[in-house]
Structure 1
Amino acid sequence: MSARTSAPPPPALTQWERHTEIPLLAAALVFLAGYAFRVLAPHDAQPWHDLSLALVGATWLLFIVDYAVRLRLSRLGHRFWRVHWLDTLVLILPLLRPLRMVQVYTAVQKKRDRPRLGLYARVISYAGMTAVLLGFSAALSVYHWEHDAPGASIRTFGDAVWWACATLTTVGYGDVVPVTTAGRIIAAGLMACGLGLLGAVTGSFSSWLIQVFRREDEKEPPASG
């Protein structure tokens, strides 16, 4: 890795990301709500379908503006998409935006000092929130592609939620499975994300327990001779 890519980000980029973190999270929830309505609402639910489409388009445009600003502030030029590949991926597929929360786990792992116990709790919370949002997004997408497909076993949104839970936790009962090409691609991505999220949660929980035990040992008075 070159010195430029390993250098800390410019202050302007850091400040932009700090100021836009909460608004973009809210926009991601609005995008998910709009997409959910378009998938689950009856086809004759007008004008709500048009409103949900406008919300999805507006939030996607907001994500594009944020990406363009961060591209300019990073000073990486054409290498931005390679260094920030996850940001590029969630721009193309906004339903994967919850995956950006995993960057918090990476930041904790890179700390060289002993992290506070609260940081581990935050990582576990972020990973859990990511799992819920990602599972819901996958359930919506699979239901969208599968419920009308010939020979499909995922006929209702409840079937899709059950499938997402089983896939995300890597259980895989096999009672409901996607039959379309798009559904299987979504399933493969959810399997990979499930493994990564489980690793983040279990790794952080183990580190948290080690920190707890170490602090308890430090509190014990030395044994008398």
Structure 2
Amino acid sequence: MKEQTAQVRWERRAQRPLLALAVLFAVAYAVPIVVSPASRSLTNACTAVEWLVWGAFAADYLVRLVLTEDRVRFVRTHWLDLCAVALPLLQPLRLLRLVSTLLLVQRRARMASQIRLTTYVAGAVVGLLMFGSLAVLSVERESADGNIRTLGDAVWWSFTTMTTVGYGDHAPTTGLGRVIAVGLMLSGIALLGVVTANIAAWFIARFEKDDVEERRQTEAILLLTDEVRALRAEVAALQETSVQR
């Protein structure tokens, strides 16, 4: 059995703590938006938690970079992780911390072989709906021309946007809100493609399995037919021998 590298051992050990920190980030991100108006102390505490979680993922990236045997190849193959770590440093917006943390959680979750595709897609849908609703509500609620004022409006808008239905009763009016809308639309289309491909692959695998079973049964029938013919030939030969005697 091949011995695991230090990088793989670290990734296995850090996976669950990082996912737990991601849940903590979700709570810290949601509280100031849902509890409105939030006190300054509560907002500062939640902001500190968000930066703490982002820092944990950044530290995880640096540890994996140190432990890897080929650092150049690691940076080249994990460029999205690097962008997610560096993104909040470019402009300290809460939305950038949200995007970077979601990217890092996604990259780390993909390393878990026990997470099936269906579970991953379901989790991605729930996460996008939740964070999309919170993000658009945080930027649209204070807009003078906005019509997304409550969490219910935001969830309804996120659901219709992700499913590409787009009723139009609620729509973002700010530039940042429209950026969120574009990201949610593209994510919904991508997830729909993943689900469709997964279903198609299941049907193809099922048909192939049935086809293999059918070929096996056909081969068995042909083999039995050949054996019956051989037995008939032997019986006919025995009968002919007995008649000659």
Shorter-chain TM-score bucket reads 0.7 to 0.9
| Aligned position for 2:98 | 95
Residues 178 and 81 of structure 1: is their aligned pair in 2 closer, same or farther, counting only changes over 3 Å? farther
**C-alpha displacement of 1:191:** 1.6
Distance in 1, matches of 2:69 and 2:170, equals 47
Q: Which of 157, 174, 180 does residue 180 from structure 1 map onto?
A: 174
- Hey, what does 2:33 align to over in structure 1? 39
- Alignment partner of 2:118 out of 114, 120, 124: 124
Question: What code does the residue aligned with 2:181 have?
Answer: A
Specify every segment of 5 or more residues in structure 2 that has no aligned partner in the other structure, as ranges: 88-95, 223-245
Aligned partner of 1:211 among 202, 205, 210 = 205
How many aligned positions are there?
205
Instruction: Tell me by how many angstroms 1:179 deviates.
Output: 0.9
1:85 maps to which residue?
79
Q: Which amino acid aligns with 1:171?
A: V
Secondary structure of the 2:116 match is helix
Tell me, which stretches of 5 or more residues in structure 1 are unaligned? Answer: 1-9, 109-118
* Displacement after TM superposition at 1:23 (Å): 1.4
Q: What residue in structure 2 maps to residue 66 of structure 1? A: 60
Q: Can you list the C-alpha shifts for 1:102-124, whole angstroms capped at 9, x where unaligned?
A: 7877999xxxxxxxxxx8x9102
How far is the alpha carbon of 1:140 from its aligned partner?
0.7
1-structure distance, mates of 2:107, 2:212: 32
Structure of greater relative contact order (alpha carbons < 8 Å, 6+ residues apart): 1
Structure label with greater radius of gyration: 2
TM-score by structure 1 length?
0.77
Per the normalisation by structure 2, the TM-score is 0.71
Whole-angstrom CA distance in 1 between matches of 2:161 and 2:83: 21
Task: Sort the Cα spacing of 1:46 and 1:168 in 2 relative to 1 into closer, same or farther, 3 A.
Answer: same
* RMSD, matched Cα: 3.0
Change (3 A) 1:83 1:71: same
Q: Which residue of 2 aligns with 1:113?
A: none
Structure 1 Cα separation of the partners of residues 154 and 76 of structure 2: 33
